[in-house]
Chains A and B, each alone.
Chain A
Amino acid sequence: MKSVRTCLVVDDSRVMRKVAIRIVEQLDFDGIEAGDGLEALTYCRAAMPDAILLDWSMPVMDGIEFLRQLRAEPNGAKPVVVFCSAESRPERIRLAIDHGAAEYIMKPFDGDIIASKFEAVGLI
């Protein structure tokens, strides 16, 4: 069987993870979840996902710190990282992009927005 691509959804809100997982599964990704950056990093060390939908503000380890550490991992350049955060100040968004995020989604979002952003970065 052809291996399905995986998308790791990192968000401290369980409801938000559920919504996002349902959307990425509709886009033919295998959805996996993590509740903070550290949990996400542990997952990535075991198996690098193809895409990561990443919240910014989380307990334990936030999105930016996770991204910094991810990129230092072997093979850590592989996942396409799309931020997904309520933070919408331009200078903050710029910071996320400068840390190596390919795209940025401002909450609230809908399925069309995720599809449009995933398309823009070549994930679909």
Chain B
Amino acid sequence: MTPADLEFVAELVRRHAGVVIRADKAFFIETRLGPVARREKVPGVPALLEQLRRVPDPVLTRQVVEATLMQETSFFRDRAVFEQIGKTVLPELAAAAAARGDGRLRVLSAGCATGQEAYSIAMQATDLAAPAAVEIVAVDFGSYPLEKARTGLFTHFEVQRGLPIRRLLAHFDKIDENWRARADLRQMIQWVELNLLDDLTRLGTFDLILCRNVLGSLTPQAHDRVLAALEAACRPDAVMVVGALETSTLSAAFSPMGPRGLWRRRTSLADTPAPAPASAPARTQA
């Protein structure tokens, strides 16, 4: 792959997904584009890109962009984050949703890849008094990872990364060499193929939003735009989770809940003080 080819692909990916491709990723990109070239029946990656330069076919462009995105994920990725979500965040949000009357607790997994994050939340939801009230929307740019996510089928290796054995036994059935998430988990999740740079308002609003290991890969403009759209999708008192190692700082309407990338939206602007003193009284909202 020539530097010009790499820059051409990088520009497509920046423009369409807002994702930055680093120069040292040339080999990875070429490996990923090989199958796309074969599907298109062109003799290799350079020819594929040449065709795309001549005719900017939107379907092929999308396939090329999708093929370059990193879909690395695992169950309960960053265990401490999921511990905080399972022990305190979900039960609190569920209680608030029940008190609110509609009872629905809506969760968004933004950039869900092959779905392990969404299934992890679904498993934690089954620990709640009313799991049926939990509705998870999982969004990704890629149609292939979503197709896999929807089946609920995971390999021997995937189910052994981050997934405790008790959870595996409780929530999955063994099918030949693979494991399949049971219907109650699958029914909790709705899979949506969507670019996070597009209009997110059609997804509705959420009590819990996870956007982890996505924002850090975006251009500054795309980062700010996606973050603003996700913030706008937060209900009052919603919790937003960004990657534990990512540096995204949310607007003043959110305050951090510890060091692991969890933020809570303040109920109202009146509740948006300068950094609170250590002895701040407990908040009085229900």
Contact = CB atoms under 8 A, between A and B. Distances in A.
B156 A106 contact: yes
Interface residues of A, number: 19
Contacts of B25: none
Interface string B61-100: 0000000000000100001000000000000000000000
Nearest to B174: A90
Contacts of B160: 105-106, 109, 113, 116-117
A103 B79 CA distance: 16
B162 interface: yes
Contacts of B166: 97
A97 B157 contact: no
A89 interface: yes
B164 interface: yes
Interface in B203-217: none
A84 to B, nearest CB: 11
Contacts of B162: 116, 120
B161 A94 contact: no
Contacts of A90: 169, 173-174
A97 B166 CA distance: 8
B165 A97 contact: yes
B161 A93 contact: no
Contacts of B169: 90, 93-94, 97
Contacts of B79: 119-120
Interface in A83-117: 88-90, 93-94, 97, 103-106, 108-110, 112-113, 116-117
Contacts of B165: 93, 97, 103-104, 117
Interface string B150-167: 000000110011101110
A36 B87 CA distance: 40
Contacts of B157: 110, 113
Interface of A: 88-90, 93-94, 97, 103-106, 108-110, 112-113, 116-117, 119-120
Interface of B: 74, 79, 156-157, 160-162, 164-166, 169, 173-174
A-B pairs, top 6 by smallest CB distance, nearest first, are A104-B165, A113-B160, A116-B161, A120-B164, A103-B165, A90-B169
Given A88-B156, A106-B156, 17 more contacts: A89-B174, A90-B173, A93-B165, A93-B169, A97-B165, A106-B160, A108-B156, A109-B160, A110-B157, A112-B161, A113-B160, A113-B161, A116-B74, A116-B160, A116-B161, A117-B165, A120-B79
